[in-house]
Amino acid sequence: MASVILVLNTGSSSIKFSLYDGTKIQLTGQISGLGAVPTIDLKSHISSTHMERPLTPKEGQDHRAAIAALLRVLEEELDGCHVDAVGHRVVHGGTKYTGPVRITDEVLNELARLEPLAPLHQPHNLAGIRAARTAFPGASQTACFDTSFHRNHPWVNDTFALPRNLYDEGVRRYGFHGLSYEYICDYLKVSAPDVYAGKVIVAHLGNGASMCAIRDGQSIGSTMGFTALDGLPMGTRCGQLDPGAVLYLLTTKGMTADEVSDLLYKESGLKGLSGMTQDMRTLTLSDDPKAAQAIDYYVFRARRELGAMAAVLSGVDTFVFTGGIGENAAGIRSRICASQHWLGMEIDENKNIANAVDISTETSRMNVLVIPTNEEEMIRRHTENLM
C-alpha cells in the first residue's frame, strides 16, 4: 500500500499543504489568516472540487490549533485519513544539514539555534513542525532545507570579506530556493540529460526571487547570500543593498533594528519602488510611471545578475525561467532576454507568448527554457526516501 504523505510549508500567518497518496496528489490548499480571520481553502484533485470555509478563532489562533483543524478536515474529506509521514519546508539548515533529515528533538533544538539567521521564516517553520508532531504523533517527520542544495559552493562563493572568525561562526553566503533548483535539476536529468550536464542558470522569479549557477547538477553560485534579502529585487524585499545604507538608516535616521527589518523585508522591492503593490500583474497593467520604473529596475537587476552568474560558470549553455513570474510573465521574460545576443541568447516571441517549454530560436546558441517548479513534490520525494 502506498504511503500517505502530507507536505507542509508553514509561514507566519499561513500554512500551505499538499497531501499525496504515494506519488499521486490528493489535496492541496492553504490555511490563511492565522491569529486574525482564519480560513481554509482546499482543492480536491480526486473529485475536482474546491472548498473554502472560515475556521473559528480558536481553530486559527496559532499553528498548533490550525494543524489540528487541518487534521479534522482531512479526516472528513478522505474518510478517516491516516498520515504516514509529514514533510516540512525549512528555510535554513545552516552548515550542518546538507540534505533532508528525520526530525528528532535534537534536530529541532539545532534548528532553533538557527532562528537568528532567518528570523522571519525559521520560527514559523519550526512552529509548524511542533504542531505537526502533536497532530500526527505516529507519523515520521522530515525537514527539507532551502539551503542544502548550495552547501557545496566553492569557498569564494560562500564567504564575505569579513574577519574569518565570523565565517567560522556562520556569517557566510548560504543561498536559498534550493528545493526549487533541485526540482529543476531532477527534471532536466530525466528529460534533457545533455542540458543537465552542462552550464545552467536557473532564475526562480516569484514573490521571492533569485538566480543560481549550476554545473553538472551542482550549485556553483547563487544571488542570495546570508539571508533571503540579497541579490534580485523581489515582491517586498529589497535585493542587493549597500550595507552602508543600513548603517545610515540605523544611525542618521534613528530607525530601530526591527524597523529596518520590516522595511527591507516587507516594504521594499516592487512594492516599495512602485508605491503600489508587489503584484507583477497589477504593475504590468498600470499606467503609473512609478509602476513602470519598478519593472524597469526588476528587469535591469535580472539582466545584471544573469551576466554575473554567466561569469561564475565561465559561460552558459541553458537559461531556465521558473517561479510564478518566470513561468507566467511572457513580457518580463522577453525584456530580460532582450539584447542578450552577446551571450548567445535569442528567444522566439511566438513560443514565448505561448509559454512553450523551449522558447529559444533555432539559431540561438543558448537553450532558453520555461519549466514550472514543484517544491512540494521535491519535499514529498525526500520524505518518502527517508521513511
Please provide the DSSP assignment of 181-210 as one string.
Answer: HHHHHHHHHHH-HHHHTSEEEEEEESSSEE
Residues labelled as active-site residues:
146
Residue linked to cell 532551502: 146
Length of the chain in terms of residues written: 387
The residue out of 113, 145, 177 marking a domain boundary is 145
- ∠85-88-93 over CA atoms, to 5°? 130
| Number of structural domains the chain divides into | 2
**What does each C-alpha distance from 157 to 171, 175, 309, 332 come to in angstroms?**
13, 10, 11, 28
Query: Average pLDDT, stretch 147-160?
Result: 94
Residue linked to cell 539559431: 363
Query: Average pLDDT, stretch 338-345?
Result: 94
CATH code of 257's domain = 3.30.420.40
Whether pLDDT at 368 is above 80: yes
Q: Do both 138 and 258 map to the same domain? A: no
Structure confidence at residue 47 (pLDDT): 86
Burial class (CB in 10 A: 0-12, 13-18, 19+), 250: middle
Maximum distance among all Cα pairs of the chain, rounded to whole angstroms? 64
% of the chain exceeding 90 in pLDDT: 88
Q: Do both 257 and 346 map to the same domain? A: yes
Q: For residues 54 and 344, what is the distance between their CA atoms, to the nearest angstrom? A: 52
Q: Hey, what amino acid is at 367? A: N
**What does each C-alpha distance from 351 to 278, 279, 329, 346 come to in angstroms?**
27, 24, 13, 12
Q: Do both 125 and 205 map to the same domain? A: no
Residue span of the structural domain in which 266 resides:
193-370
pLDDT: which is higher, 365 or 118:
365
pLDDT tens-digit series, residues 27-56: 999 999 988 899 999 999 988 899 999 999
Residue linked to cell 486559527: 60
- ∠319-320-322 over CA atoms, to 5°? 155
Indicate the pTM of the whole model. Answer: 0.94
